[in-house]
Amino acid sequence: MRTPSPLPNPHRLAFTIQCAASRFDSAPNATNPSVSSAAVPSTNYFASGGVGKNRADWQSSCAILASKVVSQQQNTEKTGGADNITVVNGHKTLDLVPVDNLPKPLTITDLSPAPMHGAQMRVAYQGVPGAYSEAAAGKAYPECDAIPCDQFEVAFQAVELWIADRAVLPVENSLGGSIHRNYDLLLRHRLHIVGEVQLPVHHCLLALPGVRKEYINRVISHPQALAQCELTLTKLGLNVTREAVDDTAGAAEFVAANNLRDTAAIASARAAELYGLNILADGIQDDSSNITRFVMLAREPIIPRTDRPFKTSIVFAHDKGTSVLFKVLSAFAFRNISLTKIESRPHRNRPIRLVDDANVGTAKHFEYMFYVDFDASMADVRAQNALAEVQEFTSFLRVLGSYPMDMTPWSPSRDD
Q: How far apart are CA 377 and CA 307, in angstroms?
A: 10
**Catalytic annotation present for 263:** no
**Catalytic annotation present for 294:** yes
Residue type for position 187 = L
User: 138 vs 113, 123, 129, 173, CA distance in Å?
Assistant: 19, 9, 11, 18
The pairing of strands 204-207 and 263-267 is antiparallel
Q: How far apart are CA 273 and CA 213, in angstroms?
A: 19
**Active-site position among 86, 263, 292, 394:** 292
CB 252 within 8 A of CB 271: yes
Q: In the beta sheet, which residues pair with residue 295? A: 169, 196
Q: Write down the H helix ranges in 85-151.
A: 108-111, 132-140
CB 173 within 8 A of CB 290: yes
Q: In the beta sheet, which residues pair with residue 263? A: 218
Q: Write down the H helix ranges in 191-323.
A: 223-228, 230-235, 248-257, 269-275
Q: What is the full DSSP assignment across 134-149?
A: HHHHHHHSTT-EEEEE
Residue 155 CA neighbour count, 13 Å, CB half: 30
**Active-site position among 46, 152, 254, 294:** 294
Residues carrying an active site annotation: 292, 294
